[in-house]
Amino acid sequence: MDQPRTPRARARAELTREIKERALQQLAETGADLSLRRIARELGLVSSALYRYFASRDQLLTALIVDAYDDLADVIAAADATRLEAQHSERWVAACLALRGWALAEPHRFALIYGSPVPGYQAPADTIAPAERVMRALSGIVQAAAVAGGLDELDHHGELDRSLVLQLERVASLLGPDIPPAALARVVGGFGQVVGMVNLELGGHFVGGFEPADALFELTVRRVAGDLGLA
Amino acid sequence: MDQPRTPRARARAELTREIKERALQQLAETGADLSLRRIARELGLVSSALYRYFASRDQLLTALIVDAYDDLADVIAAADATRLEAQHSERWVAACLALRGWALAEPHRFALIYGSPVPGYQAPADTIAPAERVMRALSGIVQAAAVAGGLDELDHHGELDRSLVLQLERVASLLGPDIPPAALARVVGGFGQVVGMVNLELGGHFVGGFEPADALFELTVRRVAGDLGLA
DNA sequence: TGTACATCAGTGAACGCGCGTTCACTGATGTAC
DNA sequence: TGTACATCAGTGAACGCGCGTTCACTGATGTAC
């Protein structure tokens, strides 16, 4: 954010970083237990010192969650950017693969944001905007396709429920105003699928079946792109 | 399982049930913290007494997980059975809706089996068979359709990866020997989608967008059934 | 049917840990005049 | 440029909790002869 001017401010930024780093390391090791005292111990501090940096354990967790959303959104955007702008299908696939790649590399961080909620932790409103960034990193591709006219007309096996259309239009206004309702439903469904398959993979549900799950995953996200009619 | 013959055996079965019941209640209340001492306290027992019933905290967790898989599989099968045998599409939709219904009714149990792993707990091999029951409750419908000839030939936008086909055939031998590879990929993808969307819903990711998510969910699973070409 | 012995449920104390958070404090760093 | 005062990082002790697991034990229930 801001450039730290004084030595003290620089030290503060550095320690804040180190605290979060240790916290992540702990999540990686113990699964989901996060102990302030242990972090302090590892940093050679007394436990109460951490309260100069985070007002509570929950606030530290919130910071980790926000960081995770941000990093994931960046990773997706970066993968998206490696493809030609007009090749929306390839962009979608690359974005989904990047999401999975990040999740496999940082399973505990993925669990933090898309796994089941941490015991006793209630996500504050601060996490909503970052969470939306991730969604937007995906929906943005479809929005671009819609604007460029690279999105098939979808036949929706019968009409969509009226109240569902209203929901979809409201969400579209946030995630991609030009994405038609039927297409947005598929985008959300596709996102749910990606999150779900990654969760299954991380949970060991594919062990003995799809290991590695690379091919299955790519086939699946490619089909979503195809169903959306992305060019 | 076995009918308890003696009063002592009956008491034992009863207390075992009560311990699990309290454990579930605790998961529901605290999210994922499970305290043996608290269970004992609530049952008016001394904490060490629980060790007559479960050798450790992990073993209790395992029992809860196995129960959850079993119950979910039963619920899915029951919903499936409410539809006509030959209407495979309706059966699939009913089964998926039942899965979500169970998850919304028992979010902590759903999290136990399809959420992120519990801190410090490593699922033993005993949970594999029950987990398969759930998968089979869904794939069985598609298997039935395949046998009855009610499954479309799928065009697979290009060939499937050879090693993926091998994986799919191996899984098919467990879940539905007559399901063609391309269809099975969709079944697994559809399952991942259901799990993922439910996880998002339980995690509050749909708040402000799809609330309730009934219509979106039904549309999505119906489309999977359609894509599979289920009658 | 009655007695002797084995099984088993539950006790209570203990071991050896862990935790988040508060508070009054010291001493170093930063700021304003 | 130097001094006075305010800010802030980190300390150390304490509060009030919690936990899983082991072990020797009592007394009730079940089993075999």
- Cβ pair A199, B116 in contact under 8 A: yes
* pLDDT at position B2: 55
Structure-block tokens of residue A57: 């354990």
CB-nearest to B203 from A31, A33, A117 is A117
| Residue B113 · residue A205 · CB < 8 Å | no
CA distance B187 to B151: 12
Average the pLDDT over B149-158 and give the result.
70
CB B175 within 8 A of CB B216: no
Please check whether strand C approaches the CB of A57 to within 7 Å.
yes
Residues 6+ apart with CB under 8 A from A178: A143, A146, A147, A172
Residue B153 reports pLDDT greater than 80: no
A-chain residues within 8 Å CB-CB of B123?
204
Mean of the pLDDT values across residues B19-41?
Answer: 92
Predicted confidence at residue B158, as pLDDT, reads: 61
User: Quick check: B156 pLDDT over 80?
Assistant: no
Cα–Cα distance measured from residue A214 to residue A105, given in angstroms and rounded to the nearest whole number: 14
In the 9-68 segment of chain B, residues within 7 Å (Cβ) of strand C are 11-12, 15, 44-49, 52-53
pLDDT recorded at residue B124: 82
Q: What span, in angstroms and rounded, lies between the C-alpha atoms of B111 and B65?
A: 10
Please name which of B31, B35, B63, B34 lies closest in space to residue B47, comparing C-alpha atoms. Answer: B35
Q: Is the CB of A119 under 7 A from strand C?
A: no
Q: What is the mean pLDDT of residues B75-85?
A: 98
- Contact of B171 with chain A, judged by CB distance below 8 Å, is answered with yes
Report the gap between the CA of A216 and the closest CA in chain B (Å). Answer: 7
Nucleotide closest in space to B40 (CA vs C1') = C10
Q: Cβ contact (<8 Å) for B195 and A194?
A: no
Interior/surface letters B192-206, b for 16+ CB within 10 angstroms, e for the rest: bbbbbbbbbbbbebb
Residue pair B228/B186 in contact by the 8 Å Cβ criterion: yes
Task: Answer yes or no: is pLDDT of B152 > 80.
Answer: no
Using the structure, give the distance in angstroms from the CA atom of A155 to the C1' atom of D17, rounded to a whole number: 61
Residues 172-191 of B with CB under 8 A from A: 174, 185-186, 188-189, 191
Which residue does chain B place closest to A220, by CA atoms? B189
Quote the tokens at residue A132: 């939306």
DSSP A2: P
Confidence (pLDDT) at B1: 47
- How confident is the model over B193-218, as pLDDT tens digits? 999 999 999 999 988 889 999 999 99
CB of B63 within 8 A of CB of B21?
no
**Could you give the 3-state DSSP secondary structure of residue A1?**
coil
| Chain C bases closer than 7 angstroms to a protein Cβ | 8-14, 18-24, 29-31
Whether the CB of B215 is below 8 Å from some CB of chain A: the reply is yes
Nearest nucleotide to A49 by CA–C1' distance? Answer: D10
Residue nearest to nucleotide D7 (CA to C1'): A8
**Which nucleotide is closest, CA of A46 to its C1'?**
D11
pLDDT for residue B122: 73
Query: Å from B168 to nearest chain A CA?
Result: 8
More confidently predicted of B90 and B150: B90
pLDDT greater than 70 at residue B157: no
Q: Which residue of A has its CA nearest to B223?
A: A157
**How much is the pLDDT for A149?**
84
> What is the mean pLDDT, run by run of 10 residues, along chain A of 231 residues?
73 96 92 91 96 96 97 98 97 98 96 82 86 97 93 70 95 96 97 98 90 96 94 83
Q: In the complex, which nucleotide's C1' lies nearest to the CA atom of residue A12?
A: D9
- Stated as kind and residue range, the H or E segment containing B69 is helix B57-81
Give the nucleotide with minimal C1' distance to the Cα of B8. Answer: D29
- Residue A38, judged by CB atoms within 10 A of its CB (0-12, 13-18, 19+), counts as middle
The whole-angstrom distance between A129's CA and the closest CA on chain B is 11
Q: Which of B169, B193, B194, B198 to mutate to test the interface with A (most CBs of A within 10 A)?
A: B193
Quick check: A116 and B111 CB within 8 A?
Answer: yes
Cβ contact, residue pair A116, B203, below 8 Å? yes
| Token reading at A120 | 């006793």
Cα–Cα distance, B100 to B34 (Å, whole number): 24
Query: Does A170 reach chain B within 8 Å, measured CB to CB?
Result: yes
Of the listed ranges A60-69, B18-27, B147-156, the one predicted with least confidence: B147-156
Backbone dihedral angles phi then psi of residue B32, each to the nearest 5 degrees: -155, 5
What pLDDT does residue A158 have?
A: 61
- Phi-psi bin for A158: left (phi > 0), alpha (psi -120 to 50), beta? left
Q: Residues 6 or more apart from B185 whose CB is under 8 A from it?
A: A216, A219, A220, B160, B164, B168
Q: What is the pLDDT of residue A5?
A: 72
Mean pLDDT over B28-47 rounds to 92
Inter-chain residue contact B119 with A32, CB threshold 8 Å: yes
How far, in Å, are A24, B6, B217 from residue B194 at the CA level?
29, 45, 8
Nearest to B196 among A121, A196, A227 (CB): A196
Structure confidence at residue A1 (pLDDT)? 46
Residue whose CA lies closest to nucleotide D22 C1':
B48
CA atom of A11 to C1′ atom of D3, Å: 26
- Can you tell me the mean pLDDT for B56-79? 97
Q: How far apart are CA B128 and CA A35, in angstroms?
A: 32
Name the residue facing B197 among A121, A171, A196 (closest C-beta).
A196
